[in-house]
Amino acid sequence: MERELFEKLQLIAEAYGKTSDLRSYVKNRNGMYLDESNREIRFNYILDRQEAARIAQDIIAAMKEYGYSAVIAHETKCTQIMYECVIKY
């Protein structure tokens, strides 16, 4: 992955209050993780589906800007209030 794209993804994470370290992932609602070996980006959120949709759209737009195709693969309920979104590219 291009360094510029990685940096843009870090900025997106920071803008939404997610961890800026995309190489580690903690399910605490502040997590965002780039898994290059599985070609996916994961982030978690608490109940706010509208914000989750904005985060996903920003990630997908950034990926497309650098020539990648990206889609929301699935969302998983982790707890009563926390969900995880997975974007495949």
What is the pLDDT, as a whole number, of residue 24? 79
Give 43's strand partners.
32, 85
Query: Where do runs of H (alpha helix) occur along 1-89?
Result: 3-15, 49-65
pLDDT value of residue 31: 86
State whether residue 58 is helix, strand or coil.
helix
pLDDT of residue 76: 93
Phi and psi torsions of 14, nearest 5°: -65, -40
pLDDT of residue 71: 97
Q: Assign 57 a pLDDT band (cuts: 50, 70, 90).
A: very high
